[in-house]
A and B are shown apart, each in its own frame.
Chain A
């Protein structure tokens, strides 16, 4: 951070963000919550302005998307207030979806939540910012704090204010958003060539699990979603920070130019691998346990919906994709051949290594002692309801799920590699082969996805900005700006000019009346006096 311009401003905004975040979680009133929520928008804008390079456009994009979503959320709260006459929570009797307006209100407030969580389609500011702001910002705001707050409000909204367990359409909306977010964002992550951007997409993808878990309406999945959020904060911070350490030493985030740093930065490497395995859901790390709880919840929705298995497959498949992009990251940063430039790279500074290591140990601890520690002391007390089958482990189901995962993996393998194997031969041709040139770097691991028709379409769409409603918004805004500049503005300017002229003319006229001659003035006085007396006496 110390090389960054306006470094001190950065800490101001960090403090402001923390204060507002505490305000959000401590307010028991939607209006107050909204107030702090909006302070967060402001501080986010400020914090994004402090970038590695010129970051104004990214910050502007973030504030536009979040600001518009918050505005929608504000309208939602207004509707809620009008309909129920109450903005305090938690409520004695939760609000049921008895009225179309209440559904509208829920969905409008949900917009604000989704923008914070970064769920599809309100996520586009995160990858945009990831390119230009430092790793610590990324780990702090979109990586952890925004997820926390978004998830907090989602929980409050869905189970403390409204009660979505009784209304399937809303559950379906949440689950669809969750599933779509998991898959699309994981695929986007898979194809990134920049570590920070990849992690940013990964963050959004993980948020999908939380939305999906909450959407099921099953206690164990809700607890799982909450646990997943906690885990996400831990391992995503570890990933962002260790990627930041690498960047600190190598001055690059481009996967093409990185490689082979595992030997040089062993502690960072270790922490990164642990966090990456945890996020991919490898037992016995914490990510596995929370995902497993979410899967169980999805399975239990089979009474309510017929399409539960689609969500389950999405969640499982997303998990596989997570592992895939993490392998790509590990390979391209820490394994493979090391470029010559990095031969002198050392382990990151002590104060950078320690937090990363602590976070990695947290991943392990929370995984092994999941039931004894985090669930017992953190998750369950905050939820306040009983989980029926918490200690229940179904080997058949787990095996089945793993088989499904393997099958899905095979499908990817078929589509990706088996059908169109890539063959490259190394020609020496009498020349001494330069190690630098023959290096196999990570970024092209999954470029074969491009040849899968459906996935490629998704990717092209995504890169082209079709998911990005910011672009539409900006188009509309510039259209309106042109209209107002050429028509409305001109009329107003003319109006001002005319009024200004008239006032100046009247002013000159009235100053001419002040001749400076005493008898005139006394005359006015008598005239005025007579008028007053006439009005009063008659």
Chain B
């Protein structure tokens, strides 16, 4: 199956073509980027269809079999992630046309945009630990640059803080990889998994895992590692905020953590209750702390940033519960939050584009002037709060179901009770920006911006109503791929042997 590398090659190649294209015909850049993102979306759909039949597709670089050669391992979970990434990348690129038009150096923006996409795609398809680190750094460094894209003082400061903290995480990850390599003499995920079985649950094992968990917690911004996010995400241009909050933190933090904990270290609630309790603890702390903090924000995007910290807590909660429903719920929540938060950041971009400010105290009365934006915000909020029949409800419901089945009734109650916080901080924006009467000058959002927002709204509604198919074909297989645990290694070697 040779289409696997395309996920990574396509955006990377695009990133290098864009500067050349920028010299020849600037107007073609946007069309090119949009086409590439759409191609990625189609490719991801194809990947999801293929993984219905085959549990694991392995691509061997230069036909060297693992563990000697570098492999790309593509299973249902990877397929799910590529799908979510490509949805947001597509919406973001459509949105960018008018939003980026008042920045200089558009080709730089689009190059970085494609690089960040390539990095994220690489992370989710690779089967090699060091490759994972490299892709992670590609994505991270592109994101540092994109956060600073506006080169104002505020943006540069945010980017600098983000870079320092991000690199603390990245280097911790590198250190953990070095330690693992010293112990197991291999970097292939499947091979590490096999070797670690011989090591057993020693303090070394936990030390490495703890360091990785620390690294991923910084990348996905759990409390108390979150402090870069509320600065960095608002500073970035809106399509980038949408991408960063929507999917970036989940690919860099959640996907990697889940893959390594479940498939490489082979842990489950049964054999490592302490770890999973830590995950639940981190999740709850994030939900509550960031949710409460979001309530007192006065900046549209900063509030949404805190909201992201709070929402990824739910995902961690789902993984921490550790049974099928919890994990499936967490994965579904990745999708739900990606769509909803991506959409909310796009609405913020639309508002900033029209009014030039993100200050909630200055914005008012946009509900009638920008009705598409307002309604997109409302649909996104309803999904994020968890109202049926939107996609967010079913994700939250699965997590609560998981908590009940695992015997944590209180956890389900707390998780639902804490979503009142989500309701209240989103109502704060709704109330001041869209509902309140006011005279803020604003024009309608441009056509392409509205297209991007409506695309996500339609996805939120359609995937919510068709939640059964989503669970059956996309989320369920992804959860099973994670819960397969150590089978992962056998599948990689087995698939490599038969040539998948």
Contact = CB atoms under 8 A, between A and B. Distances in A.
Question: Are A and B part of the same complex?
Answer: yes
Interface of A: 503-504, 506-508, 510-511, 514, 516, 518, 520-522, 524-525, 527-529, 532-533, 535-537
Interface in B216-250: 217-218, 224-225, 227-228, 230-231
Contacts, number: 78
Give the residue among B161, B214, B230, B294 with the most A Cβ atoms within 10 A.
B214
B292 A506 contact: yes
Interface string B167-210: 01000100000000000000000000000000000010011011
Nearest to B222: A528
B458 interface: no
Interface in B101-128: none
A511 B293 CA distance: 6
A521 B165 contact: yes
A537 B202 CA distance: 8
B292 A514 contact: no
Contact of B217 (A511, A528, A536): A528
B292 A503 contact: yes
A532 B292 contact: no
Contacts of B224: 524-525, 527-528
Given A503-B295, A525-B218, A529-B172, 4 more contacts: A504-B295, A507-B294, A528-B224, A532-B213
A56 B224 CA distance: 57
Contacts of B278: 532, 535-536
9 contacts: A504-B295, A518-B165, A525-B224, A529-B214, A532-B213, A535-B278, A536-B207, A536-B278, A537-B210
B164 interface: yes
A536 to B, nearest CB: 4
A520 B227 CA distance: 9
**Closest A-B pairs by Cβ, 10 of them:** A507-B296, A521-B227, A507-B295, A533-B210, A524-B224, A529-B214, A510-B293, A536-B210, A536-B206, A507-B292
A368 B138 CA distance: 93
Contacts of A524: 224-225, 227
A522 B293 CA distance: 19
Interface size range of chain B in the complex: 20 to 34
Contacts of A537: 203, 206-207, 210
B227 A514 contact: yes
B45 interface: no
B207 A511 contact: no
B153 interface: no
A288 to B, nearest CB: 56
B135 to A, nearest CB: 23
B1 interface: no
Contacts of B209: 536
Interface of B: 160-161, 164-165, 168, 172, 203, 206-207, 209-211, 213-214, 217-218, 224-225, 227-228, 230-231, 274-275, 278, 289, 292-297, 421, 424
B196 to A, nearest CB: 15
Contacts of A504: 295-296
B214 A522 contact: no
Given A516-B231, A532-B213, A521 B295 contact: no
A4 B446 CA distance: 44
Nearest to A528: B224
Nearest to B297: A511
A246 B388 CA distance: 50
Contacts of A525: 165, 168, 214, 218, 224-225
B229 to A, nearest CB: 10
Nearest to B289: A510
Contacts of B165: 518, 521-522, 525
Given A503-B292, A532-B278, A518 B161 contact: yes
A537 B224 CA distance: 20
Nearest to B214: A529
B296 A511 contact: yes
Given A516-B231, A522-B168, A528-B224, A533 B293 contact: no
A50 to B, nearest CB: 30
Contacts of B274: 535-536
B212 to A, nearest CB: 10
Contacts of B217: 528, 532
A522 B227 CA distance: 9
A526 to B, nearest CB: 8
A533 B204 CA distance: 11
A516 B228 CA distance: 9
Contacts of A521: 161, 165, 227-228
A518 B232 CA distance: 13
Nearest to A519: B164
B98 to A, nearest CB: 32
A393 B230 CA distance: 93
A528 B214 contact: yes
Nearest to B278: A535
Contacts of B292: 503, 506-507, 510
A533 B164 contact: no
A507 B293 contact: yes
Nearest to B228: A521
Contacts of A520: 227
A136 to B, nearest CB: 36
A508 B296 CA distance: 6
A465 B398 CA distance: 52
Nearest to A506: B292
Given A524-B225, A524-B227, A536 B275 contact: yes
Contacts of A514: 227, 230, 293
B141 to A, nearest CB: 19
Contacts of A532: 210, 213-214, 217, 278
B214 to A, nearest CB: 4
